[in-house]
Amino acid sequence: MVRCFAGVLIPMEPKEKIKRIIDDLKNLPMKCKFVEAENLHLCFSFLGEVEDNEIKKISERIDSVARNYSSIEVKIHGMKMIPSQNYIRVLALDVADNSGTLIRMIKHVQEEIGGDSKPPHLTICRVKSIEDRQKVIKRIEEMQSKEIASFDISSIQLIKSELSRGGPAYTVVHESNLNRD
């Protein structure tokens, strides 16, 4: 069995900018688990545990989806409080493109391979507790309209997630390039 998801790992340049945001958030009065920089990703569809012999079939279906899309420029902007400002369990950055292609592609991936999908976002930490809610919310609200970075999505990756005490380790097991036309 392989624990995996379809999505894309974040490239180095936007990752550096996100690391600066994470460093800023580390000063806030809250206890949380930050996502390691090497694990920053955009999840299209979380599959969970799948049989080893299913990886080839899933990869072929992702290849089929990828042929229908060209490279997409996405923007990382604004902080999200998930599920809400009243009950913050996750802090994430919003991810979007101007054309709506990203959402269509994510939906297409999920239709082809199944799994669980959420609106596009980039999780940066899982919140355990907040000591000064107003201070945390004020800082997050200051970041909500700020554009952080942009990058091109040129492929869809099937990513293996191996859990350990030190956190997950991600490995790309298949990469489907988007149509170059």
CATH number, domain with residue 8: 3.90.1140.10
Strands (E) in the chain, as ranges, are: 2-9, 30-34, 41-50, 72-83, 88-96, 121-130, 147-153, 155-162, 169-177
| Whether the predicted pLDDT of 181 surpasses 70 | no
Number of structural domains in the chain: 1
pLDDT averaged over the chain?
92
Q: What is the DSSP letter of 167?
A: -
Give the burial string for 34-71 (b: 16+ CB within 10 Å, else e).
Answer: bbeeebbbbbbbbbeebeeeebeebbebbbebbeebee
Residue 76 near residue 93, CB atoms below 8 Å: yes
Q: What is the DSSP letter of 120?
A: S
Higher pLDDT, 143 or 136: 136
Per-residue pLDDT band for 164 (boundaries 50, 70, 90) equals: confident
Tell me which residue range forms the domain holding 61.
2-177
Q: What is the pLDDT of residues 27-47, one digit of tens each?
A: 999 999 999 989 999 999 999
- Listed in sequence order, the residues at least 6 apart from 180 whose beta carbon sits closer than 8 Å to its beta carbon are 70, 71
Nearest to 42 by CA among 129, 163, 150, 162: 150
Q: What is the pLDDT of residues 77-109, one digit of tens each?
A: 889 899 998 999 999 999 999 899 999 999 999
Angle at 104 between CA 87 and CA 7, to 5 degrees: 65
Angle at 83 between CA 46 and CA 99, to 5 degrees: 65
Q: If you average pLDDT over residues 49-70, what whole number do you get?
A: 96
Residue 103 near residue 41, CB atoms below 8 Å: no
How far apart, in whole angstroms, are the C-alpha atoms of residue 111 and residue 179? 19
pTM: 0.90
How far apart, in whole angstroms, are the C-alpha atoms of residue 81 and residue 51? 34
